[in-house]
Structure 1
């Protein structure tokens, strides 16, 4: 259960990015126990930019496929909730209906843009964003874990602003805090952990400070690490290379040894079950058992 992983476990939890049913199934096969439905990656898979171009309903539809495919708890990147408190609670209600285990909302203004685009940008008013969090909590209660994502450090504000927001969001009902940083070292994250004093579990996204040893996160008592976009980025490189080679070579002979076989695809999605079901439900020689 995602709540146990993030809020109760004494072990560091890792969530792997997924953006569709295939990436979710692969992450599950690898052994991950939970998934991050990445807004950036889902937008890319739809051919959109991570700038509120994908609608909330498209995100919800993608989450349903991720949940169905992997059968793992999914924490959803809900951006800022796609509007005000009413949009945020509608999003949360729909995510609960589609089987999500949690939602992370960031204190950005609508329309949002990816955290790593540009430098300083305006953040949502603390009281207004706290209202969004309360609306979500009142709507889904404990059915979804609610993670409040703080963009203060990303947006160029100081640590005091980040801590102020963290306390306000905890008071508004957040179950965990996600603190984000664009630095290539984890110094801001460690400093936040010292100042925060573990009031609520803390989630991080080390996209930029990826060289930091995981022992640093354990020592700082971080709850959860999200590998936020790596399957999508890996797929982009692999597909580009395959397309370039097929175009240049005008055949697929040289790439076949380096790509998944059809048999691997059939096995991952359990085509054998379909064959046995056809025998049971469609064969006239196999009456109901």
Structure 2
């Protein structure tokens, strides 16, 4: 049955279920899935949780990842992913959409939309992808204040503090910031844009007992590592934030090129999900059957008397 209207909608808050996933010995693998259809496809492969990238949501809206989307934009995406999959979802909270009070508003909005976890980053607006140059960092104390605000506002939301300091302040600066953010109330740390195995290992060794998140994005500063390799390096979570969007965007680009070239889609059919496969993915028949059981049509037998 589809989760959205079935009896097996989870009773526990998403944040509680996210924490339980982190209690398992194996690394938590969180593929990017910021649309309902993507969430269903990822769930079909057995992933226990999902990640929602600000870059992926921005690009879907035709915008660059420069902190332009709003809390409401992201909450809309959260609602559809959670409704479709009922999986715990980690959401990219960018810089918190402002200062401490804005962060509190974000936390409550995301939690109400169904998010399980959020990460905040210590950049200044206009923020950039962590793997780009010339990032501007907020003062560590200002970021710590945002983390404290998030902690105060949350009910169950798992809070991850991201630091982009390794590129400009080195490992010592990144570790010092991470420790400050933990003192402010972060549940875990996300060291962004580490670019060698040695950096990942060193950061983990200097943060003993801390849950760490690794980012395996393509075309960035991090070499390809598998989930198992990240686990060996000391990481509890790994995300593939924009991979699904990159594949989908390339597919759409090739489709439109084929239509323009061939006057139709006849050469692309083999690359398409069939109607039957799509209906299976979105539980079409289950919804249809459920609708038929809800209200039985009663046909009037005659005209009412005046």
Same fold (TM over 0.5): yes
1:30 to partner: Cα distance: 1.5
Q: 1: distance between equivalents of 2:228 and 2:45?
A: 22
The match for 1:193 among 204, 209, 218 is 204
1:10 to 6, 22, 25: 25
TM superposition shift of 1:285: 5.9
TM-score by length of 1: 0.92
1:164 is aligned, of 165, 173, 176, to: 176
User: SS of the counterpart of 1:75?
Assistant: strand
User: Which deviates the most, 277-286 or 75-84?
Assistant: 277-286
Q: What is the SS of the residue equivalent to 2:258? A: helix
Distance in 1 (alpha carbons) for counterparts of 2:273 and 2:159: 37
Paired residue total: 280
Counterpart in the other structure of 1:180: 192
Residues 180, 205 of structure 1: 8 Å contact kept: yes
CA distance in 2: counterparts of 1:211 and 1:114, whole angstroms: 18
**1:1-289 map, 5 Å:** 1-6=17-22, 8-117=23-132, 119-141=133-155, 143-153=156-166, 155-181=167-193, 183=195, 185-198=196-209, 200-207=210-217, 208=220, 209-284=222-297
Structure 1: tracts of 5 or more residues without a match: none
C-alpha contact 2:127 2:136 (8 A) present in aligned 1: no
Q: 1:182 offset after TM fit, Å?
A: 5.1
SS for the counterpart of 1:196 is coil
Q: Distance in 2 between matches of 1:77 and 1:276?
A: 36
CA shift in 2, pair 1:120/1:156, >3 Å: farther
Does structure 2 conserve the Cα–Cα contact (< 8 Å) formed by 1:52 and 1:111? Answer: yes
Give the whole-Å Cα distance in 2 for the aligned partners of 1:2 and 1:48: 30
- C-alpha separation in 2, matches of 1:126 and 1:101: 25
Instruction: Identify if the C-alpha distance between structure 1 residues 214 and 74 changes in structure 2 by more than 3 Å, giving closer, same or farther.
Output: closer
Aligned 8 A contact 1:181 1:189 in 2: no
Q: Which runs of 4+ in 1 moved over 6 A?
A: none
Pairwise CA distance, 1:107? 0.8
Q: Give the match's secondary structure for 2:206.
A: helix
Q: TM-score, normalised by structure 2?
A: 0.87
Instruction: Say which SS state the counterpart of residue 147 (structure 1) adopts.
Output: strand
Considering only aligned residues, what root-mean-square deviation do their CA atoms show, in Å?
1.7
Once the two structures are TM-superposed, the CA of residue 124 in structure 1 deviates from its matched residue by 1.0
Contact residue 118 and residue 157 of structure 2 kept, 8 A? yes
Q: 1:215–1:72: structure 2 CA closer, same or farther, 3 Å change rule?
A: closer
Contact 2:93–2:118 (CA under 8 A) maintained in structure 1: yes
- Contact 1:82/1:111 (CA < 8 Å) preserved in 2? no
* TM-superposed deviation, 1:116: 2.5
CA distance in structure 1 between the partners assigned to 2:188 and 2:208 by the alignment? 13
Is the CA contact (8 Å cut-off) linking 2:90 and 2:115 kept in structure 1? yes
